[in-house]
Amino acid sequence: MLALHGTGAGKGIAIGRAYVLQRAGVEIPEYVLPKMYLKDEVARFKAGIANARVQLEDIRNHIPRNAPSEAASFIDTHLLILDDKMLSREPIDTIQKQGYNAEWALKVHSEALMTVFEQMEDPYFRSKKTDVEQVVDRIQRNLLDIQESSHEEVDDALDGSIVITDDVSPADTVMLKHRSVGAFVTDFGGPISHTAILARGLRIPAIVGLHGAARYIRNGDELIVDGKRGVLIIGPDKQTLKEYRQRIRRIAVLRQELHAIRKSPSVTIDRQRITLLANIELPDEIRSAKKVAAAGVGLYRTEFLYMNRDDLPTESEQLSAYMRVVKSMGRSPVTIRTVDIGADKQVNGRAEKRGMNPALGLRAVRLCLHDPTIFRPQLRAIYRASAHGRVQLMIPMISSVDELHQVLEMIRETKSELKREGRAFSTRVPIGGMIEVPAAAVAADLFAEHLDFLSIGTNDLIQYTLAIDRVDDSVNYLYDPLHPSVLRLIQMTIDAGERAGIPVTMCGEMAGDIRYTRLLLGMGLRAFSMDPTLLPEIKKVIRESEIQRLMRQAKKVLRATDRAEVQAILNKINTTPHH
Ligand code: PEP
Ligand code: MG
């Protein structure tokens, strides 16, 4: 028996036989063509793209009926990339002007594009690089006429098996689900890659980033994939198999319980109502939010509208995206966060100079105030969308009250402008600030005076408090939501909101992690916003908790003097049953 450790991507456990599926890397030829053949070469390049479209559309038609909405949107992302002139214009130019073959022209250009993606700070956008890579790989295989371009061709032997492979594209993930694989394990990929997100959505147990696993495995070997812990067990002994079979049974019972409480209210044992909201990035994700009966959208990240393009999204483009979300949420609130780009997350065509510390640079609201041509159309679109439902406006990365005053002034100007033009909008859009910079947490009371709600962004708050780059693997081990300084800042924010009589939400990853739910309830948090797939588990914890007890215990956690003591008290909080 051998256990290998990677990164758990899709939760759940699978026991099955190995199916090793190694794809050989594609060798890209380089040659120069005589002028008379260049027209045909451009046509060949375009045909490669056209074939890729046919293949992706075919995969889209195979998406299982019960697949989450993300499945289609991932394929759509690939189709959009395929459509993007950025991908085809330069290679065509290289073929026409320099006479290179289509494969080489595409390789040279895509490598330049990858470098841009690699320099992006935000892990979410950096993970987009993988999508572009996968699309480029698909076109290359078409150009080179390589048939086994993906796992689509693989036969029914996959049913129930555990696929061991180098990498899986989101499109392949859908096909793996379609062929009922038990689980998959890849050499590459990280926990927030599209493939990982999709595996979670499709409920396929998966481990990513397990380099070289295939070296230890032969086709047909018995394997266990523990997707939650990221552990792959090769040739398990009897005792281990027995333990895992028991865990599978327990997970099945838990799933039934979660399904059963889908429509139940989110209340604690002592009848305290807790608001559970969804984080979304694409309008389509509203479907997942509604499926788990989220009380609204606590964080609508709008960055997506600005990426993969040369220009800025127009006001009307933004308006239609926001309206889709707002209308489909009916009477439930939708919190639209103004765009969080900048520093090295460049808006194409408007590259800001990159500083030494991009996370400390001109990003989010700083960039918006610096360049009103970005901010104004968004504010106008958000307000115009407010005529169609319950919109809330949220400002990211706010760090000084002066900054807040400037934003509020621009909002006033936007409203007068819209009024002059006779456009419909709500005069009662609640305005909130994200508390994600320590300065804002320490002085949360000063911000609360001018705002209608606060929302704690723990992803950045932890990064800035502990001086840990959230995208740097080498310091990941220091990223700790339970660090006493982080807990104190969260407590200060909750208390400031309570004193000012305004709601405080948490929308960072910590809000969707059941290890912290009881502690946060005890600290006074009453609204949590998270990835919709996590919402039922959080609701279950809430329904099994008694706030009065937790308040006493949370105080003990805040008084603890070292990290080990914090952990010990928390373990007790999380394991003690409440009645
Ligand atoms: C956060 O920082 O916690 C947050 C929710 O914002 P983002 O992850 O988009 O930076
Ligand atoms: Mg943030």
Give, using CA atoms, the residue closest to atom 8 of ligand 1: 459
Contact by Cβ (8 Å): 337, 281: no
Q: What is the pLDDT of residue 147?
A: 62
**How far, in Å, is the centroid of ligand 1 from the Cα of 445?**
21
Domain at 188, CATH number: 3.50.30.10
Tell me the CA distances in angstroms from 282 to 62, 313, 340, 459, one per residue in order.
22, 15, 15, 20
Contact by Cβ (8 Å): 558, 488: yes
Q: What is the pLDDT of residue 477?
A: 74
The total of other beta-carbon atoms located within 10 Å of residue 84's CB is 15
In a domain, 263, yes or no: no
Residue 10's nearest CA partner among 201, 193, 164 is 201
In a domain, 42, yes or no: yes
Q: For residues 406 and 62, give the distance between their C-alpha atoms in angstroms, rounded to a whole number.
A: 50
Give, using CA atoms, the residue closest to atom 6 of ligand 1: 457
Residues 425 and 297 in one domain: yes
Tens place of pLDDT per residue across the chain (579 aa): 888 888 888 788 999 999 888 666 678 899 999 999 999 999 999 999 999 998 888 877 776 665 656 667 777 888 888 888 888 899 999 999 999 999 999 999 988 888 887 777 666 666 677 788 888 988 988 898 876 544 444 555 678 899 998 877 767 777 777 778 899 998 877 765 667 777 876 788 999 888 878 888 888 999 999 998 889 999 999 999 999 999 999 888 888 888 888 889 999 999 999 999 999 988 878 988 998 999 999 999 998 788 767 789 999 999 999 999 999 999 999 999 999 986 544 455 444 445 678 889 888 999 999 999 999 999 999 999 999 999 999 999 999 999 999 999 999 999 999 999 999 999 999 999 999 999 999 999 999 999 999 999 998 999 999 998 876 656 767 889 999 999 999 999 999 999 999 999 999 989 999 999 999 999 999 999 998 888 999 999 999 999 999 999 999 999 998 889 999 999 999 999 998
| Domains of the chain: total | 3
The CB of 280 under 6 Å from ligand 1? The reply is: no
> Which structural domain, as residue segments, surrounds residue 210?
2-23+158-257
Residues 182 and 295 in one domain: no
Which ligand 1 atom minimizes the distance to the CA of 460? 2
> Which of 95, 113, 143 lies at the terminal end of a domain, its last residue?
143
Q: What is the pLDDT of residue 558?
A: 96
Domain at 496, CATH number: 3.20.20.60
> Which of 120, 143, 166 lies at the terminal end of a domain, its last residue?
143
The CB of 70 under 6 Å from ligand 1? The reply is: no
Q: For residues 401 and 379, give the distance between their C-alpha atoms in angstroms, rounded to a whole number.
A: 19
In a domain, 228, yes or no: yes
Residues 61 and 9 in one domain: no
In a domain, 201, yes or no: yes
Which ligand 1 atom minimizes the distance to the CA of 303? 9
The CB of 508 under 6 Å from ligand 1? The reply is: yes
The set of residues, in sequence order, having a beta carbon less than 8 Å from that of 541 and lying 6+ positions away, is 514, 517, 518
> Which of 257, 288, 322 lies at the terminal end of a domain, its last residue?
257
Domain at 64, CATH number: 1.10.274.10
Residue 517's nearest CA partner among 502, 506, 532 is 506
Which ligand 1 atom minimizes the distance to the CA of 301? 9
Phi, psi dihedrals of residue 285, rounded to the nearest 5°:
-65, -10
Residues 356 and 406 in one domain: yes
Considering every ligand atom shown, identify the ligand nearest to the alpha carbon of residue 457 and give its number: 1
Residues 298 and 400 in one domain: yes
**How far, in Å, is the centroid of ligand 1 from the Cα of 436?**
8
Contact by Cβ (8 Å): 62, 286: no
Give, using CA atoms, the residue closest to atom 9 of ligand 1: 301
Which ligand 1 atom minimizes the distance to the CA of 455? 5
Residues 42 and 9 in one domain: no
The CB of 298 under 6 Å from ligand 1? The reply is: no
The CB of 436 under 6 Å from ligand 1? The reply is: yes
In a domain, 298, yes or no: yes
Pocket test for ligand 1, best of 127, 301, 460, 486 (most atoms within 8 A of CB): 460
Residues 237 and 280 in one domain: no
Which ligand 1 atom minimizes the distance to the CA of 509? 3
Residues 215 and 236 in one domain: yes
The CB of 121 under 6 Å from ligand 1? The reply is: no
In a domain, 233, yes or no: yes
**How far, in Å, is the centroid of ligand 2 from the Cα of 433?**
11
Q: Is the pTM of this model over 0.85?
A: no
In a domain, 153, yes or no: no
Residues 391 and 306 in one domain: yes
Residues 452 and 507 in one domain: yes
Cα dihedral: 487, 488, 493, 497 (round 10) = 100
**How far, in Å, is the centroid of ligand 1 from the Cα of 207?**
25
Residues 231 and 327 in one domain: no
Contact by Cβ (8 Å): 227, 9: yes
Residues 418 and 438 in one domain: yes
In a domain, 152, yes or no: no
Give, using CA atoms, the residue closest to atom 1 of ligand 1: 457
Pocket test for ligand 1, best of 125, 197, 340 (most atoms within 8 A of CB): 340
